[in-house]
């Protein structure tokens, strides 16, 4: 029996070496094209979370792919991440988030992930994910990490910045120094981006307002009427807004989202259009011209003051979507969450679109201020 266990351990170790050799036959580090799917998953606490909106959010991300019964690649990756966690110190969760996605969603329950995470002393800022097998597979596929035989998955670490949309794939077992170097590179790019922004105006605008304008940008967009508007100054400033994402050719989620917003509008009564405004941003600007937006609004009886549909150039719309944490590869993968905020108070929340309209309206009244 001892001989058998020893043999298995040797085979496992050799397997790790073989996988590492295969991985390092590829470029050790390469820019990665990813398709981010905002699927609903479960974290290690069993809490439902949306992959893009809640987990990736606006952070610099370091991500690996493991499963709890793995005895070869995964313990090595998890030990590596534990060392990265230690090196990050206070930057963890504040600026950087570690994410470990299960390759075995069928068996890896949140409880199993939590127990596995405890072995590596995972702290807040290191999120472990599982969920419905189909949803997890969609997420893995978009990241280039899906494999039908997870027992033979190759080691890989993804490092990316949700703010800029830049991702790098580190094949094999990178050192924790390599990972931290990529994180520092992305963080420096953020700082440099802020450094080249124009200084705050010396006019009447307050510093918080200038900060909001620089963050959200004044990218020029087009309304359903074909009017050019600046995203922050003309659309967001001083408003309470509900932002949704759609495309006019969508036959599934988008009509339902629009229908739910209609219900919320009715619940808000006279406050809609005066205190609360709806913004629906197209994730398909190449097709969705202002004319298409207007037809969509007419079709769904959304031609009302206070509800603005937005499109524009692919670059400008992409910039706005990125600021809202909604970078997507395929238009069908856009989030179904509503983003609601009081722009003046800088208070923002995410609202589930499957919540009752009366509950959503209640949250909006809170954002706008009672009564």
Name the residue with tokens 């996605």.
Answer: 101
CATH topology agreement for domains 21-188 and 207-368? yes
Instruction: Give the pLDDT of residue 30.
Output: 74
For residue 359, give the DSSP letter: H
Q: Are 52 and 37 in contact (CB under 8 A)?
A: yes
Q: Is 250 annotated as a binding residue?
A: yes
Q: What is the pLDDT along the chain (371 residues), one digit of tens a residue?
A: 444 444 434 434 444 444 444 444 444 667 888 888 888 899 999 998 889 888 998 899 999 999 999 999 999 999 999 999 999 999 999 999 999 999 999 999 999 999 999 999 999 999 999 999 999 999 999 999 998 899 989 999 999 998 888 999 999 999 999 999 999 999 998 888 654 444 444 444 456 788 888 888 899 999 999 999 999 999 999 999 999 999 999 999 999 999 999 999 999 999 999 999 999 999 999 999 999 999 999 999 999 999 999 999 999 999 899 888 786 678 888 889 999 999 988 888 889 999 999 999 999 999 888 55
Q: Evaluate whether 9 touches 302 at the Cβ level (below 8 Å).
A: no
At the fourth CATH level, the homologous superfamily of domain 207-368 is Glutaredoxin (3.40.30.10)
Residue-wise over 116-145: b if at least 16 C-beta within 10 A, else e? bbeebebeebbbbbbbeeebbbbbbebbeb
Strand partners, 42: 48, 130
Distances (CA, A) of 7 to 4, 19, 21, 76, 153: 5, 18, 21, 19, 21
Q: What is the pLDDT of residue 350?
A: 86
Give the phi and the psi of residue 39 in degrees, each rounded to 5: -80, 155
Q: Is the pTM of this model over 0.75?
A: no
Pinpoint the alpha helices (H) of the chain.
Answer: 2-25, 73-88, 110-119, 133-142, 176-195, 207-216, 253-268, 290-299, 314-323, 357-368
User: Which string of DSSP letters, residue by residue, matches 115-169?
Assistant: HHHHHTT--TTEEEEE--HHHHHHHHHHTT---S-GGGPPPEEEEEETTTTEEEE
Map residue 26 onto helix, strand or coil.
coil
**Both tokens assigned to 327:** 């970078």
Closest by CA position to 63, among listed 189, 148, 182: 182
Whole-number pLDDT of residue 42: 95
Query: First CA to last CA across the chain, in angstroms?
Result: 73
Structure tokens at 180: 């931290």
What is the C-alpha separation between 213 and 208, in angstroms, rounded? 9
**Helix, coil or strand: residue 204:** coil
Architecture of domain 21-188: 3-Layer(aba) Sandwich (3.40)
Taking only the tens place, the pLDDT of each residue in 317-344 is 998 998 887 866 788 888 899 999 999 8
String of DSSP letters for 256-279: HHHHHHHHHHHHHGGGBTTTEEEE
Where in the chain are the domains?
21-188, 207-368
- Whether 34 contacts 329, CB under 8 Å: yes
CA proximity to 231, closest of 292, 315, 298, 299: 315
The tens digit of pLDDT for each residue in 238-264 reads 999 999 999 999 999 999 999 999 999
Q: What is the pLDDT of residues 182-210, one digit of tens each?
A: 999 999 988 886 544 444 444 444 567 88
User: What pLDDT shows up at residue 277?
Assistant: 98
């Amino acid at each position: 029996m001892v001989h058998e266990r020893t043999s298995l351990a040797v085979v496992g170790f050799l397997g790790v070496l073989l996988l590492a050799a295969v991985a390092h036959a590829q470029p050790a580090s390469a820019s990665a094209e990813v398709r981010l799917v905002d699927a609903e998953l479960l974290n290690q606490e069993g809490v439902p979370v949306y992959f893009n909106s809640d987990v990736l959010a606006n952070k610099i991300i370091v991500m690996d792919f493991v499963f709890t019964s793995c005895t070869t690649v995964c313990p090595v990756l998890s030990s590596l991440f534990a060392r990265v966690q230690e090196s990050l110190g206070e930057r963890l969760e504040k600026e950087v988030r570690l994410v470990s996605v299960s390759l075995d969603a069928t068996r890896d329950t949140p409880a199993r992930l939590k127990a596995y995470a405890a072995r590596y002393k995972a702290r807040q800022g290191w999120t472990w994910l599982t969920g419905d097998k189909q949803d997890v597979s969609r997420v893995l596929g978009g990241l280039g990490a899906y494999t039908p035989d997870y027992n033979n998955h190759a080691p890989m670490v993804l490092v990316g910045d949700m703010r800029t949309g830049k991702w790098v794939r580190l094949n094999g077992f990178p050192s924790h120094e390599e990972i931290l170097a990529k994180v520092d590179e992305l963080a420096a790019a953020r700082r440099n981006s802020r450094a080249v922004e124009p200084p705050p105006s010396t006019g009447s605008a307050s510093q918080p307002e200038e900060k909001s304008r620089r963050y959200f940008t004044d990218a020029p967009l087009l309304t359903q009427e074909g009017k050019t508007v600046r995203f922050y100054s003309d659309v967001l400033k001083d408003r309470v807004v509900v932002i949704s994402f759609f495309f006019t050719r969508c036959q599934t989620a988008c009509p339902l989202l629009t229908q739910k917003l209609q219900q919320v509008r009715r619940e808000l009564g006279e406050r809609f259009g005066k205190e609360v405004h709806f913004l629906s941003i197209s994730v398909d600007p190449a097709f969705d011209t202002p004319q298409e937006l207007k037809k969509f609004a007419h079709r769904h009886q959304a031609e009302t003051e206070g509800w603005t549909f937005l499109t524009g150039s692919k670059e400008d719309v992409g910039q706005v979507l990125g600021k809202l944490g909604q970078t997507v590869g395929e238009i069908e993968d856009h989030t179904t969450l509503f983003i609601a905020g009081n722009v003046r108070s800088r208070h923002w929340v995410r609202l589930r679109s499957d919540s009752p309209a009366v509950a959503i309206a209640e949250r909006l009244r809170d954002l706008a201020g009672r009564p």
